Chains A and B, each alone.
Chain A
Amino acid sequence: MTTITKSDSEQSLPQSGAVAGAAAVKLSRRSFVVGTAAAAGGGLSLGFHVPALAQNAQAAIMQEVNAWVVIKADESCIIRVVRAEMGQGTHTGLAQLVAEELDCDWAKVSVQQMTAGQNLARNRVWKNMATGGSRGIRESNEYVRQGGAAAKIMLVQAAANQLGVPANELTVTKGIIQHAATARQLSYGQVADQAAKLPAPDVKSIKLKNPREWRLAGQPLKRLDTALKVNGRLKYAVDVKLPGMVYAAIKACPVFGGKLVSFDDSTVKNMRGVKAVLKVDDNAVAVVADNWWRAKQALNELPIVWNEGESGKVSSDTIRANIEEGLTSTQNVFADTNTGDADAAIAGAYKKIEATYITPFVSHACMEPMNCTALITEDKAEVWVPSQNAEASLSELAKSTGLDEKKCEVYNMSLGTGFGRRGGFQDYVRQAALVGKQMLGTPVKLLWTREEDITHDFYRPIGHCKMSAGLDKNGNLVGMHIRVSGHSINAYAAPHNIVNGKDRRQLQGFWPEPHDAQFGYTIPNLKIEYAMRNSHVPVGPWRGVNTNQNGLYSECFMEEVVHASGRDSLEFRRALLKDHPKHLGVLNAVAEKAGWGKPTAPGRHRGLAQFMGYGSYTAAVAEVSVKGGEVTIHKLVLATNCGHAVNQRMIAAQVEGSVAYALDTLQSEITIKDGRVEQGNFDTYPIARLRQMPHIETVIAPTFDFWGGVGEPTICVVAPAILNAIFKARGKPIRTVPLKHSGLKIV
């Protein structure tokens, strides 16, 4: 069998003449094979192997047991993945699942990222490449495990053929196949060649292991990709260097939807290193130079005339007025849940509680700014890009170049975070392709400034939520009315998902149906509505899509109801969750581990929240103190039931990270003036820092009967738990975030 490394080194970029490099660099016990890039050291030229051309892809990747597993003669085991790795650990988690069924030696495992072109050439043998909605593992667990199990069956059969014994007399431990009766053994590496020639077993005949008997999956194993992240050697897309490459800086019209009228390149075209000043499309200008800083400097000097259009008059005030109208309007609103008669129940209640909550636009601010390197020729287009959806990148590349998808290739690199910004929207791929088309044969690295990133994001939608509730004489909740008004992601990004004018997606977490984002409380009279109120501001998925805002609305208002009832926050919620044992389970778990009901240190207060999203159940207890305007968040205990826990340590990392991500929603907002974003960089859009972080304890409470997500679900309980603790400390609720509107800051 030809090894991957060898086949890689035999490939080169036909057009660019790039020198191919070894696919793996041994830096630790485990190497991390990036399918497209040699992870070469700093200062070395970076080579790319190219299974690139779709027509060659099949030949380049046939040396395998099956699509998921390659075993080399030296016993190294390469597991193929197509989901994007953006820090969430999916590559390691998927490898654990394949390796579990394969029964290989984990110490010999590495991961290879396959490309969109390869997937296309093989009729999507690796299926969906999109990595969002916390679906990386939960959506693909079954077929990747089947891939590992099928490879094992083939390897064992090959050994059986060689030893002349029935396959069922063989056992496998860590890639060693043993025949106990005759004390003979063969290794996976010794039979891989023959196994590859055997027919694949019928998928229906494959019996997957019981997750309770897992040995590799379910274990808190170390990530496979850490070594190159602590010595600067992991190559992100932004680090790609191709022979003859030039660099592009870009500026789009600051007003969304505005148009480029003209630019005058006379002053900048002779600046040092500048190669070209280009119209990208009717909305953006780029400067191309021999160094990105030179391109950016020239772009800053370039006089550009924009036509801002009508949107130039929009401000946060006008957007807010439109959304406020939606809170009480009878037009363009629908009820997704309407149980009993909420209006009558609340009107006739002994005590009535009413409040309106406001959550702003927020930005993804991915750590690695938007970038894409493109090499376009007459009959071929290639990009190196951080993408959450390489197939969407491929589609955009084909569209922007006019080339058939089979003539396009996308090398998806490890992402410097994604958070939903780099999935459905492929604006940076389009821009790089349009610049590359004007520089045929020359590789161009397009890189955004941070200011371009903050001002041209697809923001978490702004929303307001008006809620009212009624309590009877005994403090029991008799009715609740929830009206969400605000921007719709679907209206901007996926209008086909809006059925009969009803966009259910904006009510994620308030849905009545089970399994994905179910509202856990049973309330006899309940009405939940959504009024779509859009503006010209682009919106999109933002890690924890919609459940973040809805979780805040639900849990903060519930705390106001609890307060009015005079009861305990935990006991009140427990009673309402009695019909939903999994919601109740994580609430009980977090309450126990946080010591709910036990005294706190002087001056500290606890807040509680539970919510569901992305197929998982989460709950949190926060412990804070407030002195003057300063909020100290001391501790957060967070529980999650994600069904099956593939790697506890990586789950804890996602839970810990969710806290930092949620803190941003308490201290940052995007506002609009004259049609454009007022913030520009981290000086005006603050990001949580280490000193602000509480101590975090993670409670993983799997029930082994479903597959839930991990990357997103926890975020939605962090902010409400903190806000509810601040409510306890101050005696009054916070209904508008960020906290600065209440004269508070996190220290």
Chain B
Amino acid sequence: MIQLNINGQDQAVDVEPEMPLLWVLRDGLGMTGTKFGCGIAQCGACTVHINGQPVRSCSYPVSAAVGQKIVTIEGLSTDTTHPIQQAWLNLDVPQCGYCQSGQIMAASALLAKIPKPTDKDIDEAMTNICRCGTYQRIRAAIHHAAETGKGIGSVIHYLADGVDTKTVDSELISNA
């Protein structure tokens, strides 16, 4: 049996030591918030925290997680109150949502390390793939959660009958 600590709870699993953590979580423990996207640590849909560091669980053997503190999207907060989750809600970041568990785990790890990230910090940390292309809102939401006062996000010119009603995300945030 392999002993794991997941979201603060000790769990014993009877699996091969080389089985990637992702499949222990998903098929073994039914924790399906962590997603499969590529299997080769390219897309980041499977991102979890190991001792606070973002790790791509599809390529992380479960034996390496023994004795470490594993946090998954299910354990990031019990009530969706993590500042990153709240920012994601406020800015309506997700489209299909499939990659967002991984995006949120990557972003929350970034903020834990760098509380006030720059755009460059975000560029370097947020390498997860989003096929819907929610990247602009992801960037804005990270700035929003970090309260950097930066990050533009969506800019919408609504031109009806020649009148431009312009909205930008910062205004939506302040009204949220």
Residue-wise interface mask of A (11-48) relative to B, using a CB-CB cutoff of 8 A (1 in contact, 0 not):
00000000000000001100000000000011111000
Contact A41 B74, CB 8 Å, known A226-B89, A450-B37, A690-B138 = yes
Which residues of chain B have C-beta atoms less than 8 A from A235's C-beta?
32
Which of the segments A81-89, A108-116, A124-132 contacts the partner chain? A81-89
Contact check, A238 vs B28: say whether CB atoms are below 8 A apart: no
Contact check, B132 vs A367: say whether CB atoms are below 8 A apart: yes
Contact check, B72 vs A89: say whether CB atoms are below 8 A apart: no
Contact check, A415 vs B96: say whether CB atoms are below 8 A apart: yes
A688 at interface, CB cutoff 8 A: yes
B68 at interface, CB cutoff 8 A: no
Contact A649 B156, CB 8 Å, known A369-B36, A681-B40 = yes
Contact A230 B104, CB 8 Å, known A293-B19, A656-B137 = yes
Which residues of chain B have C-beta atoms less than 8 A from A702's C-beta?
159-160
Contact check, A697 vs B28: say whether CB atoms are below 8 A apart: no
Which residues of chain B have C-beta atoms less than 8 A from A450's C-beta?
37-40
Q: Provide the bound-state CA to CA distance between A235 and B33, in Å.
A: 8
Contact check, A27 vs B80: say whether CB atoms are below 8 A apart: yes
Least distance between A741 CB and chain B CB atoms (Å) = 23
Least distance between A288 CB and chain B CB atoms (Å) = 13
Give the one of A229, A241, A682 with max B CB within 10 A: A229
Residue-wise interface mask of A (671-708) relative to B, using a CB-CB cutoff of 8 A (1 in contact, 0 not):
00000000001110001111101011111111010000
Give the one of B76, B124, B136 with max A CB within 10 A: B136
Contact check, A689 vs B129: say whether CB atoms are below 8 A apart: yes
Contact A232 B32, CB 8 Å, known A681-B39, A682-B42, A693-B135 = yes
Contact check, A229 vs B94: say whether CB atoms are below 8 A apart: yes
Partner of A645, one of B16, B76, B94, B158: B158
Least distance between A197 CB and chain B CB atoms (Å) = 39
B148 at interface, CB cutoff 8 A: no
Which of the segments A144-152, A185-193, A565-573, A657-665 contacts the partner chain? A657-665
A407 at interface, CB cutoff 8 A: no
Q: Provide the bound-state CA to CA distance between A43 and B30, in Å.
A: 5
Contact A414 B32, CB 8 Å, known A683-B40, A696-B155, A697-B155 = no
Which residues of chain A have C-beta atoms less than 8 A from B54's C-beta?
none
Which residues of chain B have C-beta atoms less than 8 A from A239's C-beta?
26, 32
B147 at interface, CB cutoff 8 A: no
B51 at interface, CB cutoff 8 A: no
Contact check, A42 vs B156: say whether CB atoms are below 8 A apart: no
Q: Which residue of B lies closest to A680 (CB)?
A: B40
Residue-wise interface mask of B (8-22) relative to A, using a CB-CB cutoff of 8 A (1 in contact, 0 not):
000000011001101
B113 at interface, CB cutoff 8 A: no
Which residues of chain B have C-beta atoms less than 8 A from A89's C-beta?
95
Contact check, A695 vs B74: say whether CB atoms are below 8 A apart: no
Q: Which residue of B lies closest to A365 (CB)?
A: B131
Contact check, A42 vs B33: say whether CB atoms are below 8 A apart: yes
Least distance between A48 CB and chain B CB atoms (Å) = 15
Contact check, A230 vs B96: say whether CB atoms are below 8 A apart: no
Least distance between B46 CB and chain A CB atoms (Å) = 12
Q: How would you classify the secondary structure of chain A's contact residues: helix, strand, loop or mixed?
A: loop
Give the one of A231, A234, A702 with max B CB within 10 A: A231
Contact check, B157 vs A698: say whether CB atoms are below 8 A apart: yes
Which residues of chain B have C-beta atoms less than 8 A from A88's C-beta?
95
Contact A229 B39, CB 8 Å, known A417-B131, A690-B127, A693-B135 = no
Partner of A657, one of B89, B101, B133: B133
A247 at interface, CB cutoff 8 A: yes
Least distance between A497 CB and chain B CB atoms (Å) = 28
Contact check, A367 vs B89: say whether CB atoms are below 8 A apart: no
Q: Provide the bound-state CA to CA distance between A229 and B95, in Å.
A: 9
Contact check, A230 vs B89: say whether CB atoms are below 8 A apart: yes
Contact A447 B36, CB 8 Å, known A87-B132, A222-B92, A690-B126 = yes
Question: Which chain A residues (163-221) contact chain B, with CB distance < 8 Å?
Answer: 220
A-B contact count (CB 8 A): 232
B73 at interface, CB cutoff 8 A: yes
Q: Provide the bound-state CA to CA distance between A704 and B161, in Å.
A: 9
Contact check, A238 vs B36: say whether CB atoms are below 8 A apart: yes
Contact check, B156 vs A690: say whether CB atoms are below 8 A apart: no
Interface size classification for chain B: 35 or more
A334 at interface, CB cutoff 8 A: no
Which residues of chain B have C-beta atoms less than 8 A from A68's C-beta?
none
Q: Provide the bound-state CA to CA distance between A634 and B108, in Å.
A: 26
Contact check, B152 vs A695: say whether CB atoms are below 8 A apart: yes
Least distance between A661 CB and chain B CB atoms (Å) = 6
Which residues of chain A have C-beta atoms less than 8 A from B93's C-beta?
226, 230
Question: Which chain B residues (47-101) contact chain A, with CB distance < 8 Å?
Answer: 72-74, 76-77, 80, 85, 88-89, 92-101
Contact check, A367 vs B156: say whether CB atoms are below 8 A apart: no
Least distance between A553 CB and chain B CB atoms (Å) = 23
Partner of A653, one of B15, B95, B122: B95
A140 at interface, CB cutoff 8 A: no
Q: Provide the bound-state CA to CA distance between A332 and B132, in Å.
A: 38
A225 at interface, CB cutoff 8 A: yes
A353 at interface, CB cutoff 8 A: no
Contact check, A368 vs B136: say whether CB atoms are below 8 A apart: no
Contact check, A227 vs B133: say whether CB atoms are below 8 A apart: no
A510 at interface, CB cutoff 8 A: no
Which residues of chain A have C-beta atoms less than 8 A from B155's C-beta?
695-698
Contact check, A681 vs B42: say whether CB atoms are below 8 A apart: yes
A306 at interface, CB cutoff 8 A: no
Contact check, A232 vs B96: say whether CB atoms are below 8 A apart: no
Question: Which chain B residues (103-143) contact chain A, with CB distance < 8 Å?
Answer: 104, 122-124, 126-139
Q: Provide the bound-state CA to CA distance between A701 and B124, in Å.
A: 36
Contact check, B129 vs A231: say whether CB atoms are below 8 A apart: no
B45 at interface, CB cutoff 8 A: yes
Q: Which residue of B lies closest to A704 (CB)?
A: B160
Contact check, A653 vs B42: say whether CB atoms are below 8 A apart: no
B144 at interface, CB cutoff 8 A: no
Contact check, B137 vs A653: say whether CB atoms are below 8 A apart: yes
A275 at interface, CB cutoff 8 A: no
Residue-wise interface mask of A (286-298) relative to B, using a CB-CB cutoff of 8 A (1 in contact, 0 not):
0000011110000
Partner of B157, one of A225, A227, A697: A697
Contact check, A87 vs B97: say whether CB atoms are below 8 A apart: yes
Partner of A231, one of B33, B123, B127: B33
A366 at interface, CB cutoff 8 A: yes
Which residues of chain A have C-beta atoms less than 8 A from B20's C-beta?
293
B-side residues, CB < 8 A to A, are: 15-16, 19-20, 22-23, 26-40, 42-43, 45, 72-74, 76-77, 80, 85, 88-89, 92-101, 104, 122-124, 126-139, 152, 154-160, 167, 172
A-side residues, CB < 8 A to B, are: 27-28, 41-45, 86-89, 220, 222-223, 225-236, 238-239, 241, 247, 272, 291-294, 365-369, 414-417, 419, 447, 449-450, 589, 593, 645, 648-650, 652-653, 656-661, 681-683, 687-691, 693, 695-702, 704
New A-B contacts (9) at CB < 8 Å, excluding given A367-B98, A653-B132: A87-B132, A241-B30, A650-B92, A653-B95, A653-B154, A657-B132, A681-B42, A690-B138, A697-B155
Of the A-B pairs whose beta carbons lie under 8 Å apart in the complex, a sample of 15, sorted by A's number, is A42-B30, A236-B98, A291-B27, A293-B20, A367-B131, A368-B98, A416-B99, A417-B98, A417-B132, A449-B39, A682-B43, A690-B122, A690-B123, A698-B154, A701-B160
